[in-house]
């Protein structure tokens, strides 16, 4: 039977990691992999996580099953950070733990499909796994262009997509720090998007994978809070893998707002059934560690300080690039206004190849760079190489 399977294309980023690892040049730069790096090029475990893990080891007295909803203490402790004051919207918002943001996206899309969504609209380019998940869940995907050439979000396009879509269709939006472009909607854009969703009845799914890496925990929540304040129903997919540095531990959450408390309960009975049939229960350890942090004011302060250090470093790298103006044919100034780990450079596959072969600079074939791969000691080399290759 297995002869019926066709080999799938290898993951391009994993191939890039291997190539980078095999490169013996000492001044090589990795802009491919999507993890935060310090100015020394490391991706350390957060100090707050270390403390919480220690406490977990010391105090955990059972590893008996929880349930498909996971650690509800974790789910609820996160809610004020995501939803602000009145996080439950009077009993109309709740959530459950998922294996990473990926699990949350998968659950949200499958649930939207089961609830009757016939089509899902996705701005592109997007995180490549969005398209794979949508395809695997079996929902028809319609793409639209997310950004304009000037490096800002294409508001007119998303509004016309939402207007035309209507109640039997869903739209998937990135909450902040868009992957891969770094291009977010402004607060005014979100207002207009929320109004369009209300008047068309299109179902919003908001994917929040980088809260706190843009301008701050509160600032990065403006979009989703604006939408939630106006709409009757929405799904929110949340990842803690970046803002708690828990990548391999796989922790995230799925939240929903429903029109009534009864509908919310029904929604989660369905979400629980889907989780049971997929992963049964999410991994406990990372969510328990985050719950411990969020219930302890001192550990929370340590975590927020660490997040601020990350955010300030990302902003400094972005400012340094923007201040450089242009490098060859590439205008770097929009990167200063963009957010999070990623940016797309307007380079060709030939430029990407030349940067790799001639300058030991590794980036995705799409021109996506992880700005956290740049440090104050390699950024000049990067700008010079970019100028040489594209000039
Ligand atoms: N959504 C987006 C936009 C992402 O970029 C990512 C991953 N980087 C995810 C969801 C999934 O995150 P996780 O690693 O928590 O599964």
Q: How many helices (H) and strands (E) does the chain have?
A: 13, 13
Spacing, Cα 59 to ligand 1 middle (Å): 30
Question: For 108-122, b where at least 16 C-beta lie within 10 A, e where not — what string?
Answer: bbbbbbeeebeebbb
pLDDT tens digits, one per residue of 123-149: 999 999 999 999 999 999 999 999 999
Burial class (CB in 10 A: 0-12, 13-18, 19+), 201: middle
The Cα 295–Cα 298 span in angstroms is 9
Count how many Cα atoms sit within 13 Å of the Cα of residue 268 in the half-sphere of its side chain.
23
Instruction: Check if 319 is active-site.
Output: no
Q: How far apart are CA 340 and CA 177, in angstroms?
A: 4
Work out the average pLDDT over 203-223: 98
How many Å apart are CA 253 and CA 234, to the nearest integer? 14
Dist. CA 267 → ligand 1 center (Å): 23
Q: Is the CB of 99 under 6 A from ligand 1?
A: no
Share of the chain above pLDDT 70, in %: 100
Residue 284 has pLDDT above 90, yes or no: yes
Check if 252 has its Cβ closer than 6 Å to any atom of ligand 1: yes
Q: How far is the CA of 172 from the centre of ligand 1 (A)?
A: 13
pTM for this model (two decimals)? 0.97
- Catalytic residue, candidates 71, 113, 242, 249: 242
Ligand 1 pocket, 241 CB below 6 A?
A: yes
DSSP string, 339-363: -SSEEE----HHHHHHHHHHH-EE-
The pLDDT of 72-93, averaged and rounded, is 97
pLDDT band for position 3 (cuts 50, 70, 90):
very high
CB 347 within 8 A of CB 336: no
Q: What is the pLDDT of residue 162?
A: 98
127 flagged as catalytic? yes
pLDDT at residue 11 in the model: 84
Can you give the pLDDT at residue 86? 93
Decide if domain 10-45+299-390 falls under CATH 3.90.1150.10: yes
Residue 9's pLDDT is what? 87
CB 230 within 8 A of CB 199: no
Complex ipTM > 0.90:
yes
How far is CA 119 from each of CA 42, 208, 235, 277, rounded to the nearest angstrom? 41, 21, 15, 23
Active site residue 207: yes
Whether the predicted pLDDT of 192 surpasses 90 = yes
φ, ψ dihedrals at 184, nearest 5°? -110, 160
Q: Which of 207, 220, 249, 284 is catalytic?
A: 207
Residues 6+ apart with CB under 8 A from 213: 36, 176, 177, 220, 242, 243, 307, 310, 311, 314, 339, 340, 341
Q: Which of 127, 154, 220, 241 is flagged as catalytic?
A: 127
Find the mean pLDDT for residues 173-195.
98
DSSP classification of residue 296:
-
Give the pLDDT mean for 271-286. 98
Please give the mean pLDDT across all residues of the chain.
Answer: 97
Burial (CB count within 10 angstroms: exposed 0-12, middle 13-18, buried 19+), residue 183 = buried
Report whether 261 contacts 94 (CB < 8 A). no
Gap between the Cα atoms of 238 and 227, Å rounded: 15
Q: Helix crossing, 284-294 with 297-323: angle to 10°?
A: 100
For helices 284-294 and 72-83, angle between their N-to-C axes, nearest 10 degrees: 50
d(C-alpha 357, C-alpha 381), whole Å? 14
pLDDT at 299: 98
- Indicate the domain borders of the chain: 10-45+299-390, 65-295
Which residue has 């919310």 as its token pair? Answer: 264
Distance of CA 67 to the CA centre of its chain: 25
Which CATH fold would you assign to the domain 65-295? Answer: 3.40.640
Q: Judge whether 202 and 195 are in contact, CB under 8 Å.
A: no
- Model confidence pLDDT, tens digit, residues 53-63: 999 999 999 99
For residue 13, is pLDDT > 90? no
């Amino acid at each position: 039977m297995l002869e019926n399977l066709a080999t799938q294309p290898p993951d391009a980023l994993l191939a890039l990691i291997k190539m980078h690892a095999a490169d013996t040049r000492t001044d090589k730069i990795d802009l491919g992999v999507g993890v935060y790096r310090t100015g020394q090029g490391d991706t350390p475990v957060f100090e707050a996580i270390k403390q919480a893990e220690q406490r977990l080891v010391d105090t955990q007295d059972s590893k008996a099953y929880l349930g498909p909803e996971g650690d509800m203490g974790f789910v609820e402790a996160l809610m004020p950070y995501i939803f602000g004051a009145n996080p439950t919207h009077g009993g109309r918002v709740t959530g459950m733990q998922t294996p990473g943001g990926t699990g949350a996206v998968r659950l949200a899309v499958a649930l939207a499909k089961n609830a009757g969504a016939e089509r899902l609209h996705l701005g592109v380019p997007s995180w490549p796994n969005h398209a794979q998940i949508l395809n695997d869940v079996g929902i028809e995907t319609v793409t639209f262009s997310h950004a304009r050439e000037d490096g800002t979000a294409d508001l007119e396009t998303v509004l016309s997509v939402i207007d035309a879509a209507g109640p039997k269709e869903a739209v998937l939006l990135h909450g902040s720090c868009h992957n891969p472009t770094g291009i977010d909607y402004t607060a005014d854009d979100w207002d207009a998007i929320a109004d369009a969703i209300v008047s068309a009845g299109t179902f919003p799914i908001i994917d929040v994978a980088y809260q706190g890496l843009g301008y701050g925990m509160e600032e990065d929540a403006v979009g989703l809070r604006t939408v939630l304040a106006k709409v009757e129903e929405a799904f929110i997919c949340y990842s803690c893998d970046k803002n708690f540095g828990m990548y391999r531990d796989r922790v995230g959450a799925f939240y929903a707002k429903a029109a009534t408390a009864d509908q919310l309960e029904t929604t989660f009975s369905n979400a629980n059934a889907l989780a049971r049939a997929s992963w049964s229960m999410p991994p406990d350890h990372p969510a328990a560690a985050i719950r411990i942090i969020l219930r302890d004011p001192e550990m929370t302060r340590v975590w927020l300080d660490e997040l601020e250090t990350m955010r300030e470093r990302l902003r400094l790298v972005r400012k340094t690039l923007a201040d450089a103006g242009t490098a060859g044919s590439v205008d770097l100034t929009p990167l200063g206004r963009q957010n999070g780990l990623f940016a797309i450079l307007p380079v060709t596959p030939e430029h990407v190849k030349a940067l790799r072969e001639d300058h030991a600079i590794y980036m995705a074939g799409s021109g996506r760079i992880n700005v956290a791969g740049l440090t104050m000691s390699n950024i000049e080399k990067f700008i010079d190489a970019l100028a040489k290759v594209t000039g």
